[in-house]
Structure 1
Amino acid sequence: MSTPAHITRFRDLLARSLGWTFADNDAPPLGGLLRDRAADNGMSVDAYLVRLAARSWDAELSVLVERLSITETYCFRHGEQFAALREDALPERADARSSQRTLRMLSVACSSGEEVYSLAITGRQVRPDPDWIISVTGIDANPAVLRKAEAAWYSAWSLRETPDGVRRRWFRPDNGGFRVVDEIRKLVRFQRANVAESGDGVWNPGQYDVIFCRNLLMYLTADVTSALVERMTNALVPGGYLFLGHTDSLGRDPAGLELRHTHRTFYYRRNGGPTPAQRISSLPAPAEPASPDRAPEKAAPPVDENVYEKSLELLRQERFTAALELIAAPRTGPLRARDQLLHGVLLAQSGRLDEAIVLARRLSDENGLNPDAHQLLGLCLEDGSAVAEAVGQYRLAAYLDPGFALPRMRLGQLARRQGDDRTAAGELERALELLAREDDERITLFGGGFGRIALTVQCRSELDACGVHP
């Protein structure tokens, strides 16, 4: 039988060999897998772990990858990212590649290939001329899904988000499903690769115009994640694009990359290369030069610095009406973003949700990269019973600031209420880790009147309800 110590050792070996990490509530299935694999190899659990740790055991690692992989995917998943790829990233890269007349893309953890073919089809749609070379590589550690990818046959369910015109043009009915046409299949290749390793020929510097690596980083250890992000960044040409999943974020200012926000989605562009045709929508417009016929405008008097601090202190004391009156009082000079944010929080606390939502939407429209604006909008929408949209706002807040604990906590609580204990546990564990370092001012704004200790107790309670004991 497998003991907790055996399972801990098994988890450590999987992290070392594959770079994968597991939540505490994964312990029971991991224990079952450990017992099964030891028995199938005719070994005791102790002997199996010794053999797994001793030296390379590729055949066994292949079985473990097949048993542990999460392989659910479909063509053109998260269509807003493919819209950004088709209308922003690839046209820009095509302009930059006009002399080479080639576009190269990589799909990391490509699973059964739907993403790879979606990339190839998009590249084929965007290419400026027929003589351009479109090349897409898909890598995965699971040989079983790579075999399926090479077969290029998919059920109707895998094409559920594929536009009708795309399905008719690039897929052919075959044996109750659909097969990718040869014209697209010729553009792709698949390779087995472990993201915990450097990978022969996969990560050459400046090799790709676009890399997709979606919903993988959350399953990797911190060291492997850091190394993989560095390899992907270096493998992009200057000006190349990195698309991550909604669950993965590098924050607003990762090394060597700049955050882009178009088509209602976030993605990254490697620094350097030709100047992009489009910039982040929230960047301020350049100031207009002063007209010689117009007298210069006088600078507005500064906003009273004490108003914000006084209103925040009244919020801490739960004197919402007094705080709202103070922050909303007429004053000279423009309101700063933090004043408007606090105004929105106080409107919500006072039950004036409609006004709070309008203000929060304005803040997020003015600067789509402001995580606090998305957090405020999520809280307002959740109270207004628009839970699905609230979840999207919390995800944006967590994506933009990976150190922001409170959106993670809300995502975990909402996932648990929907019966998704696995997702809930992951979000709540992350929130619990981050709460110790959460900014005091954010706790005041978004903690619902609870302090750091009370929020930590709540988070632990929610984890207990998921069956997780950190």
Structure 2
Amino acid sequence: MSADVERFRAVLSAKLGWVFDPSDSPQLAQVLAKRAGAARLDQAAYLAKLSGGGPWPAEMNALAEELTINETYFFRHGEQFRALQEAALPERIQDRSSQRVLRMLSVGCSSGEEAYTLAIVARELQPGPDWIVSVLGLDASPTVLKRAAAARYSAWSLRETPDTIRQRWFHPRDGLYELDAGIRSTVQFRQYNVATEDVSLWRAEQYDVIFCRNLLMYLTPEVQAELVRRMTRSLATGGYLFLGHTDSLGSRPDGLEPMHTHRTFYYRRSTVSTMPPPAPAPMPPPRVEKRAETKEPARHSDAYDRALGLLRDERFADALTVIETDPPERPEPRERLLHGVLLAQAGRLRDAETICRRLLDTDGLYADAHHQLAVCLEGAGDVSGALEQYRLAAYVDQDFAMPRLRLGLLARRRGENRVAGPELERALALLRQEHEDRIALFGGGFGRIALTTLCRAELDACGVRR
């Protein structure tokens, strides 16, 4: 990477809060050359002006246009909107019955489909005409916000929209679909850079629902943590935060309770606030060891210890025999999980899946059980179900390397290198500190070094050079 591109990356991180993967360097070099040329400056002079203390809003807008990814459509990730419609909003409507006001926020709204979907779902549930529903959409790009305000979309943008919703709220116009004025009137849009503070935007307890999907992973850790803090504080008590499948706050985020319904995870603002005072430092994710200390006793049965030792020696059949011939009277979750792992390795996928589902019925935040269920589903050929469970495992415990590795390998298998690269990069970083028991349970007989070598080889195949 050239020094100019590295400096360009640093300026973008400082000004916009964005982080870029090493594989993005060729794109950054092209954008740098293009924008310096448009400004009629050499690259050194352009970077000096861009990083200077004075404002340059037109150029920051142009950079936002060049570098943002705006793939979106109505009702994208429908399971989250089903959770919104059937769980979150009915509760918020009940809580707001005296005020008759619902306020929602779409952070990184792009061309408006997400913000308008929020408005449509709320309108469908609105108890009466005297209720006020408002949605605010935020994005750094003025061009996409202009498209959002126009509210005219192609059939492709409506590809996941239910037919009844399409017929009720969209009107054909000149080969496009124009959103009904009744929905448009409830939604406003505003240009906003998430790396900046805005007191009026983030007033305490003003939103009932916030959607911020697939944005956090593009931000620096400092900006990401600050944005999460702002969103949490600005949610009403009992309000809901929906993140993207690639974004996770772990299973113990400050001020939020993880929720798991409709085959998706989201968060609810705690009724008893635990939010710390404002601070720029990122919130640390929960550690696996802490979960083990609070959820499970430290000691296990002799059968568990013997079986785990046999598993480490790759004596899988012997380990399964120990577990099944000398089971504890009341097996702990980790003992039941080990049984599921050994059953899967013996080809008894249905029995292993049953154990995992029962574990999750008891504790839906058990990341290891989500991962092992994914292994069972993948082995049975249900790749879409496996992807969902791997994502849930990574979502619940963001320090868990193994689901990141599997997500990266599955993306590579589909030829989706842009998806695979970040997952494999994350897996590679996490493997350095992955717990030995997890490597034994989920490594398929491979140790830490072999898994690390596999990660590096797949990253090279993706075109990510380290």
Map Cα deviations across residues 323-342 of structure 1 (whole Å, 9 max, x no partner).
10111125452222111110
Corresponding residue for residue 295 of structure 2: none
Q: d(CA) in 2 for partners of 1:122 and 1:450?
A: 47
Alignment of 1:5-20 (within 5 A): 5-20=3-18
- Shift in Å, 1:243: 0.5
Alignment of 1:2-401 (within 5 A): 4-54=2-52, 55-199=54-198, 201-272=200-271, 305-331=301-327, 333-401=329-397
Instruction: Note the residue ranges of structure 2 that are not aligned, 5 or more in a row.
Output: 274-298
For these two proteins, the number of residue pairs brought into alignment is 440
- Shift in Å, 1:365: 3.4
Higher mean alpha-carbon deviation, 328-337 vs 419-428, is at 328-337
Map Cα deviations across residues 390-430 of structure 1 (whole Å, 9 max, x no partner).
11111111011011011101111111121111111100111
Letter in 2 for 1:450: F
- Over 3 Å counting, the alpha-carbon distance change for 1:48 and 1:363 in structure 2 is same
Contact 2:352-2:376 within 8 A present in 1 as well: yes
Q: d(CA) in 2 for partners of 1:81 and 1:269?
A: 13
- Shift in Å, 1:304: 6.7
Corresponding residue for residue 284 of structure 2: none
Contact 1:381-1:387 within 8 A present in 2 as well: yes
Q: d(CA) in 2 for partners of 1:200 and 1:140?
A: 17
Contact 1:239-1:273 within 8 A present in 2 as well: no
Contact 1:320-1:346 within 8 A present in 2 as well: yes
Letter in 2 for 1:417: R
Q: d(CA) in 2 for partners of 1:330 and 1:448?
A: 24
- Shift in Å, 1:387: 2.0
Letter in 2 for 1:45: Q
Contact 2:301-2:328 within 8 A present in 1 as well: no
Corresponding residue for residue 279 of structure 1: none
Contact 1:193-1:199 within 8 A present in 2 as well: no
SS in 2 for 1:60: helix
- Shift in Å, 1:114: 0.6
- Shift in Å, 1:386: 2.2
- Shift in Å, 1:367: 2.5
CA RMSD of aligned residues (A): 1.5
- Shift in Å, 1:9: 0.8
SS in 2 for 1:433: helix
SS in 2 for 1:75: coil
Q: d(CA) in 2 for partners of 1:264 and 1:111?
A: 25
Map Cα deviations across residues 141-161 of structure 1 (whole Å, 9 max, x no partner).
000000000001111111111
Corresponding residue for residue 419 of structure 1: 415
Higher mean alpha-carbon deviation, 29-38 vs 357-366, is at 357-366
- Shift in Å, 1:64: 0.5
Instruction: Note the residue ranges of structure 1 that are not aligned, 5 or more in a row.
Output: 275-302
Map Cα deviations across residues 423-450 of structure 1 (whole Å, 9 max, x no partner).
1110011111111111111011001111
Letter in 2 for 1:334: R
Contact 1:107-1:139 within 8 A present in 2 as well: yes
Q: d(CA) in 1 for partners of 2:268 and 2:347?
A: 41
SS in 2 for 1:209: strand
- Shift in Å, 1:456: 1.2
Map Cα deviations across residues 115-137 of structure 1 (whole Å, 9 max, x no partner).
11111111111122210100100
Map Cα deviations across residues 82-131 of structure 1 (whole Å, 9 max, x no partner).
11111111111111111111000000000000111111111111122210
Q: d(CA) in 2 for partners of 1:398 and 1:447?
A: 16
Percent of matched pairs sharing the same residue: 57
Map Cα deviations across residues 184-238 of structure 1 (whole Å, 9 max, x no partner).
1111110110111113521111110000001111111111100000000001011
TM-score by length of 1: 0.91
